[in-house]
């Protein structure tokens, strides 16, 4: 996978001014890869990552290119929607071209185009959607609109090529915990594309809580990695922050925890010049991880799940990964770190399973900025 920031993509754009965008009518560019399997071109622009990828048969990553805008938004302390939208416009074509080149293929070897339809920022989603429509209009390829949460789930099916063998697929029924910047959901997945929503956050998403608490204790953006880093030298028992178990439901709540950190920070600031950021971060992280893991395992037992799958940006958290792998009750699937945050490989993977199930969307497909997984 190649991470490319906005500045580098400007260079890519300039270098490629003379190159033409690959079309379906052209012959394959490489000729090195035998034509077999179904290749999906995935496109993701739901938030602040512009991403494109080519996946074979739902699981094999042939290319996975992500242009992160994180540095652009850092000065705002969060994603600035209009800046995100404009940056997607600048980056989307070079990143798609890059994904095709890294996969050594033209659109002629692609079976369908899968694009994130929602949920996400409207101004960001439309860039990917309209680009995908332009590609299918010019190439005649089938178009698939993909739910971003479903895409996060399918990141657990992906494997990097070459050369490792495909890891075993997650087994159903699967207890799925999605923890990202915008969502925290517990889902029972009974088979491919078949979901029952058990619970969700009533207020902040887990990633949102990481981002807000990082700001409260003076750490950088994005907050999740900053809190993880600060926690490494902190004591998770230094502060007794509350755990919202919400007994009798499968829902989550993180706003009480966030308020508890705020109160602690204000009390500390009255007495000390500098905050014990490492201890605050470690204690906050421990509270989030304990509830996420505790509820996931309880739900897995209650619903007779065969395995547990955790996906979304917060699943990159090492404390969470450690706690999940520390038990022996359920096999746990967590995507590799690089596939936890937003990427297009996961969109293409979900696209493959939807494509083989017969889905095909029309050119009149609109974005759905508030699209719940359960309505897919």
Q: Summarize as ranges the residues that interact with Mg ion (CB under 5 A).
A: 180, 342
Q: How far is the CB of 180 from Mg ion (least distance, A)?
A: 4
Q: Which of ligand ADP, Mg ion, none lies near 95, with the C-beta cut-off 5 to 8 A by kind?
A: none
114 with 146: CB under 8 angstroms? Answer: yes
Q: How far is the CB of 297 from ligand ADP (least distance, A)?
A: 19
Question: Looking only at residues 338 through 357 of this chain, which bind ligand ADP when binding is defined by CB under 6 A?
Answer: 341-342
DSSP single-letter state for residue 170: P
Q: How far is the CB of 299 from ligand ADP (least distance, A)?
A: 21
Q: Does 181 bind ligand ADP (CB under 6 A)?
A: yes
C-alpha separations of 82 from 47, 85, 144, 282 in Å: 11, 5, 25, 34
Distance, CA of 261 to CA of 133 (rounded, Å):
46
Q: Does 118 bind ligand ADP (CB under 6 A)?
A: no
Distance, CA of 114 to CA of 51 (rounded, Å):
12
H helices present in 272-330, as ranges: 277-302, 318-325
Q: Which of Mg ion, ligand ADP, none lies near 117, with the C-beta cut-off 5 to 8 A by kind?
A: none
Site string (183-202) toward ligand ADP, x via CB under 6 A: x-------------------
Distance, CA of 151 to CA of 153 (rounded, Å):
5
Residue 71 contacts by C-beta under 8 Å, 6 or more apart in sequence? 5, 6
**Residue 105: count of CB within 10 angstroms of its CB:** 25
Closer to ligand ADP by CB, 210 or 239: give it.
210
| Tokens encoding 236 | 């998770």
Of 168-176, 207-215, 232-240, 295-303, the segment contacting ligand ADP by CB under 6 A is 207-215
H helices present in 144-205, as ranges: 148-154
Q: Does 47 bind ligand ADP (CB under 6 A)?
A: yes
Closer to ligand ADP by CB, 57 or 290: give it.
290
Distance, CA of 43 to CA of 306 (rounded, Å):
31
Of 33-41, 125-133, 177-185, 346-354, the segment contacting ligand ADP by CB under 6 A is 177-185
Q: Does 211 bind ligand ADP (CB under 6 A)?
A: yes
Q: Does 180 bind ligand ADP (CB under 6 A)?
A: yes
Of 104-112, 186-194, 206-214, 258-266, the segment contacting ligand ADP by CB under 6 A is 206-214
Strand partners, 310: 177
Closer to Mg ion by CB, 261 or 373: give it.
373
Question: Looking only at residues 222 through 281 of this chain, which bind ligand ADP when binding is defined by CB under 6 A?
Answer: 222-225, 228
Q: What's the CA dihedral at 92, 96, 102, 103 to 10 degrees?
A: 150
Which of 25, 49, 50, 52 has the alpha carbon at shortest distance from 39? 52
Distance, CA of 96 to CA of 84 (rounded, Å):
17
- Out of 22, 276, 312, 351, the only residue in the binding site for ligand ADP (CB under 6 A) is 312
Give the binding site for ligand ADP (CB under 6 A): 47, 180-183, 207, 210-211, 222-225, 228, 312-314, 316-317, 341-342
């Amino acid at each position: 996978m190649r991470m490319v920031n906005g500045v580098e993509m400007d260079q890519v754009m300039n270098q490629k001014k003379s190159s033409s965008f690959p079309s379906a009518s052209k012959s394959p560019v490489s000729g090195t890869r035998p034509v077999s399997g179904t290749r999906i071109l995935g496109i993701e622009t739901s938030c602040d990552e512009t991403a494109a990828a080519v996946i074979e048969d739902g699981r094999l990553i042939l290319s996975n290119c992500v242009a992160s805008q994180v540095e652009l938004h850092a000065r705002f302390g969060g994603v600035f929607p209009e800046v995100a939208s404009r940056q997607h416009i600048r980056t989307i074509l070079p990143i798609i071209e890059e994904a095709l080149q890294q996969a050594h293929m033209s659109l002629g070897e692609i079976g369908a185009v899968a694009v994130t339809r929602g949920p996400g920022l409207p101004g960001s989603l439309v860039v990917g959607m309209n680009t995908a429509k332009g590609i299918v209009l010019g190439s005649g390829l089938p178009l698939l609109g993909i739910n971003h949460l479903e895409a996060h789930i399918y990141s657990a099916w992906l494997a990097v090529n070459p050369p490792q063998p495909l890891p075993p697929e997650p087994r159903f029924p699967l207890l799925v915990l999605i923890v990202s910047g915008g969502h925290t959901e517990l889902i029972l997945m009974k088979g491919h594309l078949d979901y029952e929503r058990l619970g969700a956050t009533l207020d902040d998403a887990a990633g949102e809580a990481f981002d807000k608490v990082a700001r409260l204790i003076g750490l950088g953006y994005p907050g999740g990695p900053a809190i993880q880093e600060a926690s490494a030298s902190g004591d998770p028992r230094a502060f007794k922050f509350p755990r919202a178990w919400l007994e009798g439901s499968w829902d989550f709540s993180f706003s009480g925890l966030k308020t508890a950190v705020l109160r602690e920070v204000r009390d500390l600031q009255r007495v000390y010049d500098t905050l014990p950021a490492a201890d605050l971060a470690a204690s906050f992280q421990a509270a989030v991880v304990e509830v996420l893991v505790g509820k996931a395992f309880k739900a897995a037992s209650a619903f007779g799940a065969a395995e547990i799958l955790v996906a979304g940006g917060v699943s990159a958290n090492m404390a969470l990964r450690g706690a999940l792998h520390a038990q022996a009750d359920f096999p746990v699937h967590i995507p590799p770190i690089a596939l936890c945050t937003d990427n297009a490989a996961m969109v293409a993977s979900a696209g493959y399973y939807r494509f083989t199930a017969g889905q095909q969307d029309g050119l009149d497909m609109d974005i759905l900025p508030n699209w719940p997984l359960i309505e897919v």
